[in-house]
């Protein structure tokens, strides 16, 4: 906005502006002819924000041409100046009060405006909604109220205009207030105030009008100054999207540095941090800057690198936060408002790339809550897809959990874009996390189970005959850490003891079953492993597999896919889990026989195999 202010009404006005003052962007909405331009013109005039002589000049022109003076003409005249390359933007005006500078937008139905609002290029912190007292609530009064709610503008004041046309009758005002309050409440918007005004005459704009002695609330200017500015990002909780992880190689040590730009808040060496969505923890050892002195602290807007007290194994894309700060949400389901710009509509069943902070994940449209046609501003609840230039409230489901804030809590981590075919096709704001019980993923498992045709042999009968429970044993760890040797010993000893055990490593699968997949499709890898495990354990087997580079979410997916049989997770060497605790933790390259003892002992303890087995 500071940049915008430089192009303000006229140079001498700019010079009088104190840039250190607070700034606020507001939007004015309302039905056609209800008086938006008049309110703006009046605000500019009453705050002495007009170029010198402009008002008189326009009044004079009106007199000469025998037209009644309109504030809309005044704004048009200012726009004309802009056309000559001198002053203001078509949709924006600037004025100032004792408290702050305002930029007011007057084009809420405009596609550019909507696009800017949802993608974050423009953000209105408050809105004035104008209703004609004589005409009452009209269609656009409703649509605009709805739009404000969708755009997340929560500070709203309703101006009941043209009170002069209804003799400043309190009853007319109260009736509109009652009806419109109920409507806005249904949209989740609670207006701060309703103000009876007559913009044409300046009533209750800058000064209290004697005609509305019954009204004790603020004037429009007082209300504007009472709106709160959004907090400066430095005052918000610390959020650091990890763009890159570098390894120090020069000193031959294992230290890593996490690089990126601090999105909000501040942090200092010694602070405990958490990485999300992996939930890994560490403590900041140092704050590094490229060719700048070390200060030990970093705050929002700074591009920095962090080193840590403990070794961390995190991937770029995670969000680093201060452990003691309010935490972001972590979920695979997000409720969001999006503005769609893609040539192809946003549809269900298609995979898009969602970019939020440093995270990049595959996302699908799980549900459309409602769609607002941006040009018509018609709301529709039964649309099956989101067309170009629609604004929609949707539920998105990501292939992996991501960390985010709601737009109200944090702008930087509450916005995202959707990429379709390498192009940004939509921008959105996060409204919140959604319960994942109804996720598409779980739904697909439920569907699979309902189509699964089984014979008459019950799982309990099978277990009785085989002498053991079915079980999935996943052995995880980095490559070449002895997973395969261990798996083979376990398989051999179980089979020797008469158990139905079978080992298949992920590398076997990569060569065979998943040969058609690229390495990047690790999501699909995991899904297929989970499905395969489900068949094996459903057949009553103890299925053993080895896999490298898995995290908490991968294990959770495999667990869900494999259910109802249970999973045992064995780690060999360092593992990449955050909150998840493996069942058996072994050192790298363990002595296979002893390590197998430990795993079999665990299975015995869980009654997978009988205590009397000597395996």
Ligand X SMILES: Nc1nc2c(ncn2[C@@H]2O[C@H](COP(=O)(O)OP(=O)(O)OP(=O)(O)O)[C@@H](O)[C@H]2O)c(=O)[nH]1
Residues that bind Mg ion (CB under 5 A): 36-37
DSSP reduced 3-state for 123: coil
DSSP letter string over 433-497? Answer: E--GGG-HHHHHHHHHHHH----S--HHHHHHHHTB--EEEEEE-STTSSHHHHHHHHHHHHHHT
Which one, 202 or 590, has the nearer CB to Mg ion?
202
Which one, 6 or 59, has the nearer CB to ligand X?
59
Q: Which residues bind ligand X (CB under 6 A)?
A: 30, 32-38, 70-72, 161-162, 164-165, 198-200
Nearest to 87 by CA among 13, 8, 2: 8
For 404, the token pair is: 């985010």
Which one, 129 or 504, has the nearer CB to ligand X?
129
In the sheet that 566-572 helps form, which strands lie side by side, from edge to edge? Answer: 501-503, 542-547, 471-476, 566-572, 584-586
34 contacts which partner out of Mg ion, ligand X, none, CB within 5 to 8 A by kind? ligand X
CB of 112 vs ligand X, minimal distance in Å: 17
33 contacts which partner out of Mg ion, ligand X, none, CB within 5 to 8 A by kind? ligand X
Distance (Å) of CA 586 to CA 458, 475, 480, 575: 35, 10, 14, 10
CB of 218 vs ligand X, minimal distance in Å: 18
Which one, 28 or 338, has the nearer CB to Mg ion?
28
DSSP reduced 3-state for 40: helix
CB of 56 vs ligand X, minimal distance in Å: 18
DSSP letter string over 336-360? Answer: EEEEE--SSPB-BT--EEEEETTEE
Which one, 61 or 594, has the nearer CB to ligand X?
61
Assess contact for 236 and 264: CB atoms under 8 A: yes
CB of 213 vs ligand X, minimal distance in Å: 18
Which one, 69 or 613, has the nearer CB to Mg ion?
69
Which one, 38 or 212, has the nearer CB to ligand X?
38
Assess contact for 322 and 394: CB atoms under 8 A: no
Which one, 220 or 504, has the nearer CB to ligand X?
220
196 contacts which partner out of ligand X, Mg ion, none, CB within 5 to 8 A by kind? none
- CA–CA dist 243, 3 (Å, integer): 28
Assess contact for 85 and 79: CB atoms under 8 A: no
- Put residue 500 in one of left, alpha, beta given phi > 0 → left and psi -120 to 50 → alpha: beta
- CA–CA dist 612, 615 (Å, integer): 9
The pair phi, psi for residue 452, each rounded to 5°, is -70, 115
135 contacts which partner out of ligand X, Mg ion, none, CB within 5 to 8 A by kind? none
404 contacts which partner out of ligand X, Mg ion, none, CB within 5 to 8 A by kind? none
Block residue for tokens 């997340």: 152
162 contacts which partner out of ligand X, Mg ion, none, CB within 5 to 8 A by kind? ligand X
Q: Please give the DSSP secondary-structure letter assigned to residue 7.
A: T
Nearest to 49 by CA among 3, 91, 103: 103
CB of 275 vs ligand X, minimal distance in Å: 50
160 contacts which partner out of ligand X, Mg ion, none, CB within 5 to 8 A by kind? none
DSSP reduced 3-state for 240: strand
164 contacts which partner out of ligand X, Mg ion, none, CB within 5 to 8 A by kind? ligand X
CB of 63 vs ligand X, minimal distance in Å: 16
Which one, 39 or 401, has the nearer CB to ligand X?
39
SS (H, E, C) 148-208: HHHCCCCEEEEEEECHHHHCCCHHHHHHHHHHHHHHHHHCCCCCCEEEECEHHHCECCCEC
Residue closest to Mg ion, measured at CB: 37
CB of 262 vs ligand X, minimal distance in Å: 42
125 contacts which partner out of Mg ion, ligand X, none, CB within 5 to 8 A by kind? none
Which one, 37 or 307, has the nearer CB to Mg ion?
37
For 390, the token pair is: 């629609």
468 contacts which partner out of Mg ion, ligand X, none, CB within 5 to 8 A by kind? none
CB of 75 vs Mg ion, minimal distance in Å: 7
List 409's β-bridge partners, or say none.
Answer: none
Which one, 37 or 406, has the nearer CB to Mg ion?
37
CB of 171 vs ligand X, minimal distance in Å: 18
Neighbouring CB atoms inside 10 A of 350's CB total 13
CB of 37 vs Mg ion, minimal distance in Å: 3
CB of 7 vs ligand X, minimal distance in Å: 22
70 contacts which partner out of ligand X, Mg ion, none, CB within 5 to 8 A by kind? ligand X
């Amino acid at each position: 906005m500071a940049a915008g202010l430089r192009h303000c009404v006229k140079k001498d006005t700019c010079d009088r502006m104190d840039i250190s003052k607070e700034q606020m962007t507001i939007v004015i909405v309302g039905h056609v002819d209800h008086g938006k331009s008049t309110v703006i013109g009046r605000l500019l005039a009453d705050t002495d924000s007009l170029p010198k002589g402009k008002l008189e000049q326009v009044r004079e022109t009106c007199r000469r041409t025998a037209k009644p003076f309109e504030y809309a003409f005044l704004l048009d005249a200012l726009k004309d100046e802009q056309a000559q390359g001198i002053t203001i933007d078509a949709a924006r005006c600037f004025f100032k009060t004792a408290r702050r500078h305002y930029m007011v937008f007057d084009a809420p139905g405009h596609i550019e405006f909507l696009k800017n609002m949802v993608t974050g290029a423009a953000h209105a912190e408050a809105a004035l909604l104008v209703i004609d007292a004589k005409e009452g609530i009209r269609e656009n009064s409703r649509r605009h109220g709805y739009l404000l709610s969708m755009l997340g503008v929560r500070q709203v004041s309703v101006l009941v205009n043209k009170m002069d046309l209804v003799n400043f009758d309190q009853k007319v005002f109260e009736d509109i207030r009652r009806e419109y309050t109920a409507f806005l409440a249904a949209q989740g918007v609670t207006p701060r105030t309703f103000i009876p005004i007559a913009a044409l005459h300046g009533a209750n704009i800058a000064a209290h009008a004697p005609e509305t002695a019954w009204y004790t609330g603020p004037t429009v200017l007082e209300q504007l100054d009472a709106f709160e500015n959004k907090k400066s990002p430095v005052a918000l909780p610390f959020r650091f999207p990890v763009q890159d992880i570098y390894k120090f190689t020069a000193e031959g040590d294992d230290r890593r540095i996490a690089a990126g730009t601090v999105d909000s808040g501040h942090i200092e060496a010694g602070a405990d941090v958490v990485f999300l969505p992996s939930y890994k923890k560490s403590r900041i050892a140092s704050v590094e800057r490229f060719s700048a002195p070390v200060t030990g602290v970093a705050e929002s807007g700074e591009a920095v690198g962090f080193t840590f007290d403990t070794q961390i194994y995190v991937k770029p894309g995670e969000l680093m936060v201060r452990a003691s700060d309010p935490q972001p949400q972590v979920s695979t389901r997000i409720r969001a408002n999006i503005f769609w710009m893609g040539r192809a509509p946003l549809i269900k069943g298609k995979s898009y790339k969602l970019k939020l902070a440093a995270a990049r994940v595959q996302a699908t449209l799980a549900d459309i809550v409602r769609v607002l046609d941006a040009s018509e501003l018609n709301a529709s609840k039964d649309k099956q897809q989101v067309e170009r230039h629609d604004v929609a409230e949707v539920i998105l489901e990501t292939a992996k959990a991501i960390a985010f804030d709601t737009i109200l809590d944090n702008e930087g981590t509450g916005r995202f874009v959707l990429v379709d075919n390498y192009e940004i096709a939509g921008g959105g704001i996060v409204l919140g996390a959604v319960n994942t019980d109804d996720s598409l993923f779980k739904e697909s498992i439920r569907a699979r189970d309902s189509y699964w045709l089984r014979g008459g042999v019950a799982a309990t009968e099978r277990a009785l005959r085989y002498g053991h429970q079915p079980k999935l044993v996943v052995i995880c760890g980095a490559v070449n850490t002895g997973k395969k040797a261990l798996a083979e010993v376990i398989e051999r000893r179980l089979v020797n003891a008469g158990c139905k055990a079978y080992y298949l490593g992920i590398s076997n699968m990569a060569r065979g079953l998943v040969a058609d997949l690229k390495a990047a499709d690790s999501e699909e890898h995991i899904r297929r492993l989970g499905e395969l495990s489900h068949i094996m354990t459903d057949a009553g087997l103890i299925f053993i597999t080895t896999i490298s580079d898995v995290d908490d979410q991968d294990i959770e997916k495999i667990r869900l896919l494999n259910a109802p049989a249970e999973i045992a997770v064995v780690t060999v060497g360092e593992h990449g889990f955050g909150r998840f605790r493996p069942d058996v933790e072994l050192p790298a390259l363990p002595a296979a026989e002893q390590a197998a003892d430990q795993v079999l002992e665990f299975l015995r303890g869980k009654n997978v195999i009988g205590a009397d087995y000597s395996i």
